[in-house]
Structure 1
Amino acid sequence: MHDTSRRRVLLGALTSTAAFALPAWVGAQGTPLRVTAIPDESPTELARKAAPLMRYLGERLGTKVEFTPVTDYAAAVEALVNGQVDLAWFGGFTFVQANHRSGGKVLPLVQREEDEKFRSVFITTDPAIRSLADLKGKTLSFGSPSSTSGHLMPRSFMLAAGVDPDRDLRRVAYSGAHDATAAAVASGKVDAGALNISVWDKLVSDGKVDPAKVRVFYTTPPYYDYNWSVNAAMPAERRQKLVQAFTDLSPETPHGKEILGLQRASRFIPTRAENYRGIEAAARSAGLLK
């Protein structure tokens, strides 16, 4: 996407900013915290997951929190790099893109404990597909082109198995989101799909996918993935308050249990840029990071 197109996408997305209401005493002092997230699930699901966390962060920081949904992954990267938001939920690859584009001015703060060993799954309804090699000549859907767990890492594991998606498959599609990939496979639009294991497990547990019809035929090795990142221009004191707020969340408290459940996290832990060097190397190897 050209820079001009990115700006148009971002400007369109910023018209739909949603401010989460807080008690009158909150936000009397300090600047608002502006937050966004990559749209890796449907807008309604993202909003449902965000609301309690935004309220909690506002109370902990004593300021108003504004959550800005964006239309695609590139817009989330541009928003943080250009200082239009202060905090962003990124996948590992979008963090690498933002860090690269900003010249190292994007810092990862925390990740879910699960993100230390994240995985992707390949799913299908075709009984003839039992391995990555069986995808040759078939149709496959990834998620967003900028998705770590819905594109970059599944692609890298396919290449390692001797399957080049662009050369060996009949057609490659991009659904834009993990739940959309699962729906494309379930409806027969594609023979197979790759998505993140967390969303897959949630779709199955919620009864939105029948695992007797749509099955996992390959699960990737683990890799680092999602994190909450900030622009390095954020004062160190506020960064530390954010880290403390996230790491203080506990399933032993009612609000902690709710927030962690929605975020599909056992807990949040501090992270650092070095954790994502493997993803950067995979992106460069696949020609997805220049």
Structure 2
Amino acid sequence: MPRALFCRLLPALLLPLLGSAHAADLSSRYTDSDDDMVADAPAKPGEWLDPATLIFAYTPVEDPAVYAKVWDEFLQHMEKVTGKKVRFFPVQSNAAQLEAMRAGRLHIAGFNTGSVPLAVNCAGFVPFTMMADENGGFGYQMEIITYAGSGIDDVPGLKGRTLAFTSPTSNSGFKAPSALLKSEFNLEADKDFKTAFSGKHDNSIMGVVNRDYDAAAIANSVLSQMQARGVVKADQYKVLYTSQTFPTTGYGYVYNLKPELADKVRKGFETFDWEGTALQAEFKNSGQAQFIPITYQEHWEVVRKIDQAMDVSYACDN
């Protein structure tokens, strides 16, 4: 994709992020004295956030109202653990979620895989957990799908056709497929195939099923959830490519949350009982059954390498 076109597609918040590649570029607003690649809590108590109501946001989805119900029991549990009111914030875009945390209006969040580095470096996000299966296994794959009867039988068959991405910040919806299509198949966006941006994985999947797009790059975890809800059927699409495994949505809090409160937020995730909850019902079809501890430095290394390959910088002080 030409750089000029790519820049026009990015929200204003993300424009400064293009440039030379860096593994980690914490904003000058933050410090990292322990070299764990995430922002330290402020040293001065006067700079800590201790809100009466904690705001939680899940990564943007097609119908936020559905996920407000999915997360309701978890948020009730978080209220008991923290002693605070906890409210669900239905974000409409990755940029809105990033800006809300950067501005101090969002305290706890689940950021999608590709947005985690931006959230860490530009919004002070401290990820510490993600979902996993009963045995602690985690991850999802990027898949390129097409609709049944499209006439596309393999990845080279995308040449001259339209491939939908989700958003420029998405790992599986843009960055990973762009890097892999170039390195493995020598296919470049807007040179060898046409592109479209749907905004969300749900939109890309429905766009393929409804034949608005010839193909789409999506997270197969989202596809599994939509298929389990009966939104799409297996005979409506065909998988052309499946990638290596990537980490899933990263959950955490904003760096300047009062340390004692941040510890309680961690405890809220650690002690949540999934059994019989709407959260279990929603995510069991993608094999997720618990929250496990993670670190940004270790678990997001593969994502940072993809960003480096695409010449993406996380510097956001400009």
TM-score with structure 1 length normalisation? 0.81
- Cα distance in 1 for partners of 2:66, 2:175 equals 23
- Cα distance in 1 for partners of 2:189, 2:146 equals 16
196, 205, 211: which one aligns with 1:173: 196
Say if 2:159 is the partner of 1:159. no
Distance 1:289 1:133, change over 3 A: farther
What residue identity is the alignment partner of 1:80? M
The count of residues paired between Structure 1 and Structure 2 equals: 261
Give how far 1:110 is off.
0.9
For structure 1, which runs of at least 5 residues remain unmatched after alignment? 6-28
Give how far 1:249 is off.
2.8
For 2:196, what is the secondary structure of its paired residue?
Answer: strand
Q: Deviations over 1:146-183 (max 9, x none)?
A: 222222222222222222223210x2111111111111
277, 280, 284: which one aligns with 2:304: 280
For 1:157, what is the secondary structure of its paired residue?
Answer: helix
Give how far 1:263 is off.
4.2
Does structure 2 retain, via aligned residues, the 8 Å contact 1:95–1:229? no
Aligned to 1:142: 165
What residue identity is the alignment partner of 2:187? V
What residue identity is the alignment partner of 1:41? E
- Cα distance in 2 for partners of 1:79, 1:61 equals 21
- Cα distance in 2 for partners of 1:285, 1:269 equals 29
1:39-54 alignment, distance < 5 Å: 39-54=60-75
Say if 2:131 is the partner of 1:112. yes
- Cα distance in 2 for partners of 1:155, 1:46 equals 29
Distance 1:191 1:262, change over 3 A: same
118, 123, 129: which one aligns with 2:152: 129
1:39-118 alignment, distance < 5 Å: 39-102=60-123, 105-113=124-132, 116-118=138-140
Distance 1:237 1:260, change over 3 A: farther
Aligned to 1:270: 293
Q: Deviations over 1:3-31 (max 9, x none)?
A: 499xxxxxxxxxxxxxxxxxxxxxxx972
Does structure 2 retain, via aligned residues, the 8 Å contact 1:132–1:163? no
- Cα distance in 1 for partners of 2:183, 2:195 equals 18
1:190-229 alignment, distance < 5 Å: 190-229=213-252
- Cα distance in 2 for partners of 1:4, 1:142 equals 17
For 2:251, what is the secondary structure of its paired residue?
Answer: strand
Aligned sequence identity (%) = 23
For structure 2, which runs of at least 5 residues remain unmatched after alignment? 1-10, 16-49
- Cα distance in 1 for partners of 2:234, 2:141 equals 18
Say if 2:280 is the partner of 1:260. yes
What residue identity is the alignment partner of 1:210? K
Distance 1:164 1:234, change over 3 A: same
Does structure 1 retain, via aligned residues, the 8 Å contact 2:145–2:241? yes
For 1:166, what is the secondary structure of its paired residue?
Answer: coil
Say if 2:43 is the partner of 1:33. no
Say if 2:12 is the partner of 1:2. yes
- Cα distance in 2 for partners of 1:130, 1:100 equals 40
Q: Which has the higher helix share?
A: 1
55-64 or 110-119, which deviates more: 110-119
Give how far 1:50 is off.
2.7
41-50 or 278-287, which deviates more: 41-50
For 1:121, what is the secondary structure of its paired residue?
Answer: strand
Give how far 1:56 is off.
2.1
Distance 1:211 1:254, change over 3 A: closer
Q: Deviations over 1:120-163 (max 9, x none)?
A: 22111245323222211110111122222222222222222222
What residue identity is the alignment partner of 2:279? I
For 2:169, what is the secondary structure of its paired residue?
Answer: coil
Distance 1:211 1:263, change over 3 A: closer
Specify which structure has the bigger relative contact order, considering alpha-carbon pairs within 8 angstroms and separated by 6 or more residues.
2
What residue identity is the alignment partner of 1:262? E
Distance 1:31 1:197, change over 3 A: same
RMSD across aligned positions (CA): 2.4
TM-score with structure 2 length normalisation? 0.75
Distance 1:157 1:45, change over 3 A: farther
Distance 1:233 1:214, change over 3 A: same
For 2:144, what is the secondary structure of its paired residue?
Answer: strand
- Cα distance in 1 for partners of 2:156, 2:237 equals 19
